[in-house]
Structure 1
Amino acid sequence: MTAVTGAAGALAYETCPTYADLVDRVRTGGLGPDLATQRITVAFTTRQAVRHDGRGIGYRNEVLSLRLAEAVGSCAVEPGTLPDSALDDCVGADVARLLEHPLLPVRVAALDAYLMHVTPHSPESGARPCPLPAGSSLEKSRARADAVAELIDLPPGATVLVIGVVNSLLEALRARGLQYVPCDLKGGVTEWGEPVVTDALAAAGRCEALLVSGMTLGNGTFEPLRRHAQQHGKQLVMFAQTGSAVLPRFLGHGVSAVCAEPYPFFWLDGGAGVVHRYRGPHGNSCQGGHI
């Protein structure tokens, strides 16, 4: 474990070296109240289809969200893969039971809700709020992309592996003079016809940094990426709607920065919003000193 201090220097929380260590720490009561006393009152899914004006490619999202007291934890899933019974399993259940659920997205959403309840995004926890202006779906997507891309500390010409292809993020990287390798389990091509690779670790070796979706928590691919970044001293920047309260717990253990975006997400309405940015305590991407 690593003790983490917030902006004012007060102890905010402990980070963990691996996902398994974090779950064990939560299960043993080391990070907050007894899991058996923490019950999910609302379980819901958010399904979205989008095709921004001026873009030739659309996409779909589906997210499982769980309400614990004032907190909402979320985990994205591949559209259509989450059974309806998952909602019935979650509502009214305690977090201890849900951390044993057979579906990984349920376990991730429950962990996210619990950690959001224990340590909400705030300056005291090391988060730096970054406002997103009101605007069209494309304008808000680009504003979120800028907030994420600013966390990458690389000179022009460097190459970033982007896992979880978001076209606005690719635009933001190009605007900073960065090269990129788009990667997604679904493959395909980007808005500009660039091939999307499917093997992240095979592509990681030729990239100086990794820019990774929180969805990797929900499909079980996060830990190999975290280990690669840690072993090779590379920046690993997470953009997280999935696990926004989970991923800051790995700062200093392979993760260098997180753009955390809890529910409600930027694509749900045209009004102003906010994301919360964290920077880790070590490495080139950590200037500023706090997480």
Structure 2
Amino acid sequence: MNPLVTRTPDPDAPVPAAPFDAPAASYDDLVARVLDGEFGPAPRSHRISVAFSTRQAVRHDGRGGGYRNEVLSLRLAAAVGSCAVEPGELPDAAVEDCVGADLAHLLEHELRPVRVAALDAYLMHVRPHTPANGARPWSLPAGSSLRKSRARARAVTALVDAPPGARVLVVGVVNSLLEALRERGMPYVPCDLKGGTTEWGEPVRTDALAEAERCDAVLASGMTLGNGSFEPLREHARRHGKPLVMFAQTGSAVLPRFLGSGVSAVCAEPYPFFWLDGGPGLIHRYGTTAPGAAR
């Protein structure tokens, strides 16, 4: 390389990780630190280029019931941040509001899902899922949606570091996760704001914090960021010293920032999610002693 040739810095290049990012004390603390520029360029200097929503309905072969998903995603350079919402709850205007808006503005948006997706996009940009930032890649096989769902579930539930017989509170019912816990012989309490029953006819509780009192570990969806229930669960886990494992399509780059501050492990799954493609996939695990090589 010619030493006389200078290169213009790429404003869209990810910012190298600091040697140690102090765990966030709370969600609001993390937002304040981002706005203060602690993690990299000022959010006001970055604008969202693309905003979109993804809607999905699924019923896996061999399963008695199905479900629907809706996700708001925001693109910042090469990064995509996401936040799941209850189907039909996101106003159509929300996507238009985000296009061309700067991150600082969106971090103060009136809609929580927009705020979460914006924070996720920024942190995905400055702290991408790489080994240098603490992520351990885990390969998902190609195949049907059910095959990929089960493979992801095994990777997620392996992060629950609890003794045999420990009762696990599962917040955000995914039948493949429950199935994987059953295979491990771990009793669980399914909990979801929608209520209902599991594939095995078990009643689904609706008050996660009340159920947490009688559980030894918590396995929770990143959707808790979008509905406001994450902080109470994190505080409960931190105060009582319980394992809290997050499986995150919502806020996959946000939740690793809480490792050591109530969160014990994260399985991060940025967009595109496993249910969008039949080919091989990749998820990223944090806070585990499992080998770092992809599987």
Instruction: Identify whether the pair has TM-score above 0.5, normalized to the shorter chain.
Output: yes
Q: Which amino acid aligns with 2:117?
A: A
Match for residue 115 of structure 2?
Answer: 107
Query: What aligned pairs does 1:211-226 form with structure 2 within 5 A after superposition?
Result: 211-226=219-234
Q: Which amino acid aligns with 2:136?
A: R
Match for residue 256 of structure 1?
Answer: 264
Q: Identify the match of residue 97 of structure 1 among 99, 105, 109.
A: 105
Match for residue 240 of structure 2?
Answer: 232
Is it true that 1:139 corresponds to 2:125 in the alignment?
no
For 1:54 and 1:120, the matched residues in 2 are separated by 36
Match for residue 275 of structure 2?
Answer: 267
Work out whether residues 214 and 240 of structure 1, in 8 Å CA contact, stay in contact via their aligned partners in 2: yes
Work out whether residues 204 and 210 of structure 1, in 8 Å CA contact, stay in contact via their aligned partners in 2: yes
- TM-score, length of structure 1 as denominator length: 0.93
Mark the CA change 1:42 to 1:10 in structure 2 (over 3 Å): closer, same or farther: closer
Query: What aligned pairs does 1:39-188 form with structure 2 within 5 A after superposition?
Result: 39-188=47-196
- 2:21 match: secondary structure: strand
- 1:157 match: secondary structure: coil
Runs of 4 or more consecutive aligned structure 1 residues displaced over 6 Å after TM superposition: none
Match for residue 10 of structure 2?
Answer: none
For 1:288 and 1:144, the matched residues in 2 are separated by 15
Q: CA deviation at 1:13?
A: 3.1
Mark the CA change 1:289 to 1:17 in structure 2 (over 3 Å): closer, same or farther: farther
1:118-137: per-residue Cα shift (whole Å, max 9, x none)? 01000001100000000101
Q: What percentage of residue pairs aligned between the two structures are identical?
A: 74
Structure 1: any 5+ residue segments left out of the alignment? 1-8, 280-285
- TM-score, length of structure 2 as denominator length: 0.91
Q: Identify the match of residue 197 of structure 1 among 196, 205, 211.
A: 205
For 1:211 and 1:149, the matched residues in 2 are separated by 8
Q: Which amino acid aligns with 1:50?
A: V
Mark the CA change 1:226 to 1:125 in structure 2 (over 3 Å): closer, same or farther: same
Q: CA deviation at 1:48?
A: 0.2
For 2:194 and 2:209, the matched residues in 1 are separated by 15
- 2:170 match: secondary structure: strand
Mark the CA change 1:43 to 1:10 in structure 2 (over 3 Å): closer, same or farther: closer
Larger radius of gyration: 2
Q: CA deviation at 1:287?
A: 4.1
Work out whether residues 12 and 124 of structure 1, in 8 Å CA contact, stay in contact via their aligned partners in 2: no
